Amino acid sequence: MSLFLPVFYGSYRRDRLGIRLADYAVAGLRERGFESELIDAKAVGLPMLDRMYKEYPKGEAPANMEQVADILCRADGFVFVEGEYNWNIQPGLKNLMDHYLEEWFWRPAAVMSYSAGRMAGVRAATSLIPTLSEMGMIPINATVSVAQIGQTLTPDAQPQGSAGDALAKGFATCVDTLQWWALAAREGRAARKTPF
């Protein structure tokens, strides 16, 4: 049973290292037989939140906002690749997320955090997880945390060394868990009406 699991990434920085992890996630999901694509907040280019998608009359949302909404509504689950800005969520990612609400509901979400240093973005991940829950998603417990991302993934998103081996192992567990929850959530949505 095929699942659609898009990957969201939010850095706007010029020299982005986290894009390696986002590309690794998309490629890894596809290798395992899932449909996936990268939703790069910088490339999507939504403005600072003024009006949510649901606040536009049907058919009148900007084209880039409509495209993301279509992806969200088709998705069976989500992967968030999260760097850390001052112990918190990247503003580009959070801004993209905040343009939507109901479109996220009743599906699982995985968090993959990273940093150039030793902390692996885990402080940002601990901020993101309750946000995902508040936005109606089911954050899974099998997270991925990548320290020293420049040494863990090559510029073409290939894992290297012992850190790369650890990433591959953690990624497999994360995806297995996300798959289980995505299938359970799909079956649940099909079997009964959601509470809201």
Closest to 6 (Cα-Cα) out of 89, 73, 91: 73
pLDDT of amino acid 196 = 86
Q: Of 59, 62, 71, which Cα lies nearest the Cα of 8?
A: 71
**Can you tell me the distance from the alpha carbon of 115 to that of 150, in angstroms, rounded to the nearest whole number?**
9
pLDDT of residue 1: 61
Long-range contacts of 14-21 (CB under 8 A, 24+ apart): 17/114, 17/116, 17/149, 17/150, 18/81, 18/82, 18/83, 18/114, 18/149, 20/149, 20/153, 20/154, 20/155, 20/157, 21/81, 21/112, 21/114, 21/146, 21/149, 21/153, 21/157
CA distances from 120 to 115, 188, 196 (A): 5, 34, 36
Q: How many Cβ atoms from other residues are within 10 Å of residue 91's Cβ? A: 14
pLDDT, tens digit, for every residue of 50-109? 999 999 999 999 999 999 999 999 999 999 999 988 889 999 999 999 999 999 999 999
pTM flag (> 0.85): yes
Architecture of domain 7-191: 3-Layer(aba) Sandwich (3.40)
Output the pLDDT for position 164: 97
> Where is 137: in which H helix or E strand?
none
Q: 57-73: string of b/e by CB count within 10 Å (b at 16+)?
A: eeeebeeebeebbebbe
Q: Where are the domains of the chain?
A: 7-191
**Closest listed residue to residue 177, CA positions, set 147, 137, 139:** 139
Please answer whether residues 98 and 52 qualify as being in contact, where contact means their C-beta atoms are separated by less than 8 angstroms.
yes
CB 1 within 8 A of CB 14: no
pLDDT at 23 over 90: yes
Percent of the chain at pLDDT above 90? 96
Residues 6+ apart with CB under 8 A from 192: none
